[in-house]
Amino acid sequence: MDIEVTPALTIPDPELQWKFSRSSGPGGQHVNTSSSRVQLSWSIVDSTVLTDEQRDLLLTKLGRRMVAGAITVTVQEQRSQLRNRETALDTLAAIVRDALAPPGPIRRATRPTRGSARRHAAAKQARSATKQQRQRPRDD
């Protein structure tokens, strides 16, 4: 079950490590007897399909999610181990695809429009007036 991340990048099945355990998710008494929880791990450091640029990019972007150079996805949403496997494969592919995607355009900082500044000030005045009416009248 190779993972096609992009048309140019496919993670081969021998690089994936699977672990299965009992799930605490849906399934009633069925979860007490079956190992439907899936852990899928892929070692980015040891991967043979990545270029050096892709490896460096993944290591910098996914550094917080990784443990010992490997990224792990855990799924226990479905009753079936097969469905959890499919979900884990899709999730791992999406994580790697997002990390390899080029950054979006840089947002240029702009000032608020004159109309939005007026509306903001009017809303603050209205809120202030509402709070002023809640106060106890002063004895003058």
Sequence-distant (≥ 6) Cβ neighbours of residue 13 within 8 angstroms? 1, 2
Most confident of 12-16, 94-98, 123-127, 135-139: 123-127
What is the rounded CA–CA span in Å between residue 125 and residue 122? 5
Q: Which two tokens stand for residue 21?
A: 């355990």
CA 125 to the chain's CA centroid: 40
**pLDDT for the residue 30:** 61
Q: Which CATH number fits domain 3-100: 3.40.50.2300, 1.10.760.10, 3.10.20.30, 3.30.160.20?
A: 3.30.160.20
pTM: 0.67
Domain residue spans of the chain: 3-100
**pLDDT for the residue 21:** 82
**pLDDT for the residue 112:** 94
**pLDDT for the residue 122:** 98
Q: Judging by DSSP bridges, how do beta strands 9-11 and 3-6 pair with one another? A: antiparallel
What is the rounded CA–CA span in Å between residue 101 and residue 89? 18
7-54 pLDDT, tens digit per residue, is: 888 888 888 888 888 777 555 566 566 677 888 898 888 888 888 888
